Amino acid sequence: MWNQFFLLEEYTGSDYQYVGKLHSDQDKGDGSLKYILSGDGAGDLFIINENTGDIQATRRLDREEKPVYILRAQAINKKTGRPVEPESEFIIKIHDINDNEPLFTKDIYNASVPEMSDVGTFVMQVTATDADDPTYGNSARVVYSILQGQPYFSVESESGIIKTALLNMDRENREQYQVVIQAKDMGGQMGGLSGTTTVNITLTDVNDNPPHFPQSAYQFKIVESVPLNSPIGRIKANDADVGPNAEMEYSVLEGDGSEMFGITTDKETQEGIVIVKKALDFEKRRQFTLKVEASNPHVDPRFLYLGPFKDITTVRIQVEDVDEPPIFSRPAYILEVKEDVSINTVIGAVTARDPDSAKNPIKYSVDRHTDMDRIFNIDSGNGSIFTSKPLDREMLLWHNITVIAAEINNPKESSQVPVFIKVLDVNDNAPEFVMFYETFVCENAKAEQLIQTLSAVDKDDAFGGHKFSFTLAPEVASSSNFTLQDNKDNTAGIFTKKMRYNRHEMNMYLLPVIISDNEYPVQSSTETVTIRVCACDKRGKMLSCNAEALIHPTGLSTGALIAILLCIIILLGKELCMNSRVMGSDHNNNNKMLSGHVW
């Protein structure tokens, strides 16, 4: 009986390696049986002596390539060719020897660990595998050790976990480490096989360094005319850390220039940019001092014991003089003047000064692009503005001009200021009718009948509202055929004074009306209302005025009557032409006769 054989791998002998022997209890030793082998490697890798049943391996075997071979054996009668018993299966196991060294999963590992880490901080884990049989002996039992990288790092022998082994490793002193790890089989015993790998370890930065100014003081110069928010200089505090740990925040702590200047941070360069916050004046102050602080916004509380993560420096700023243009006392001027003032009347003044220490004299002028009609002028020496032409508020209420102030010694240095001149109203316009009034009165009108309502307007301003009064002109007040009633609401009504009017006797009346505005000084005007006398129907609807038919009694319009008349003339003309052809010979006499008939 058989079920398995064992064979050592990597046989190095010159002869075939003996595996084992097959034998059947039907074999009497008389040579009547023969043994046959089939299955994995039969006849090639494994051969059998058919008479004795001895099995041999023809070449060296590798367990890592194939650890088990399954074969089948059979005993056959040589004469009959029949099996003397059923075919049976057996296996050949390849026994392991330590012929494989441990191999790491990577030739080179990369890892990182924060600087200043405590001893024993985990870095990474490396792993090596051994192709030998882990169930047979110690051939596949791997032990890790560190060949290079001490005393900074260590490795756990069983797990391959790499840890820090030295306290306070500083990235700023050394950033890169190369560690060599060995994996050895046979449990690390003498004669075991080994493999190595390299681990490149980088110390990552932590914020363990405060910022530091390389200079205790900085000096800048700036002209007084620099625009607001302009940069005037840069300062920078150094930090041995990198990335976010080296980011800076700058601030002004104190100093006589803390209100005049500020500082911002350039996020790309981590520089502090000193800027102007308020307008500078060399004549008022020429030097400023600031205390500027640089600090880390991302402070690691673990390292606060190292001290404050900030530094302070002094910034001195010197203001330099420039020739500045004149400065007006106001950003804009608003003047008022009555429209009835006489020419050359002073209506106000502007003032400007030279802000420089030289205090150069100023010359004033009007920008004629803003006063092309030359309505105003200015005294070049004292800035007094006066009229040079009459004003009319009803034509133009506001005049917007620009005044220029320039240094006499340096005319290029000039400034401009807007001057808004409001023309005040005086009562210089009389009221007048809203429209031209032409109305009519019916011949059959009754006495005290309203025939027209009048309204008036006034170009002048009335702060309390206009209050017009209406009266008939004195020359017609007593003799007029009409009366006027003032409604006390800036309107008036015209009424008939008698019953019945005759258009054949008087076909039109001209009624003069006086309108007053009750302002000071009182302005009044005489306006005329035209009243025609017309024929009307019983309801007061106008039919005709004077001799002209406005509406024909038949209902036909004037245009229709003219069209009918033209048709009659044409028909008469045709009839006369026909008669002239019949009458015959004396053409000239006929023409005379026709002419006399038409007139």
Domains of the chain: 4-95 (2.60.40.60), 103-204 (2.60.40.60), 217-320 (2.60.40.60), 327-424 (2.60.40.60), 432-544 (2.60.40.60)
Give the type of residue at 482. Answer: F
Give the per-residue pLDDT at 99: 79
Q: Contact, 474 vs 515, CB < 8 A?
A: no
Q: Taking a C-beta distance cutoff of 8 angstroms, is the pair 34, 50 a contact?
A: yes
Tokens of 124: 């990474």
pLDDT in tens, 149-194: 999 999 999 999 999 999 989 999 999 999 999 999 988 888 788 9
Q: Per the omega criterion (within 30 degrees of 0), is the bond before 521 cis?
A: yes
Tell me the pLDDT tens digit for each residue of 277-331: 999 988 889 999 999 999 998 888 888 777 788 999 999 999 998 888 999 999 9
Provide the phi-psi class of 323: left if phi over 0, else alpha when psi is between -120 and 50, else beta. Answer: beta
pTM exceeds cut of 0.75: no
Tokens matching residue 247: 């980011």
Sign of CA dihedral 381, 384, 385, 387: negative
- The residues facing 438 across adjacent strands are 530
CB distance 521 to 427 below 8 Å: yes
Residue pLDDT, tens place only, 451-481:
999 999 988 887 778 899 999 999 998 889 9
pLDDT, residue 271, reads: 96
Which SS3 state, helix, strand or coil, does residue 442 take? Answer: strand
With contact defined as beta carbons under 8 Å apart, do 448 and 496 qualify?
yes
Is the alpha carbon torsion for 408, 411, 413, 418 positive or negative?
positive
Residue 186 CA: distances (Å) to CA of 12, 106, 107, 146:
22, 21, 22, 17
Specify whether the CB–CB gap between 144 and 160 falls below 8 A.
yes
Q: What is the pLDDT of residues 317-341, one digit of tens each?
A: 999 988 889 999 999 999 999 988 9
Helical pair 558-583 and 587-598, crossing angle rounded to 10 deg: 150
Are 533 and 547 contacting, i.e. CB atoms less than 8 angstroms apart? no
- The alpha carbon of 132 is separated from its chain's Cα centroid by a whole number of angstroms, namely 68
Concatenating the DSSP letter of every residue in 400-413 gives EEEEEEEESS-TTS
Write the DSSP assignment of 323-384 as a string of letters: -PPPEESSS-EEEEEETTPPTT-EEEE--EE--STT---EEEEE-TTS-TT--EEE-TTT-E
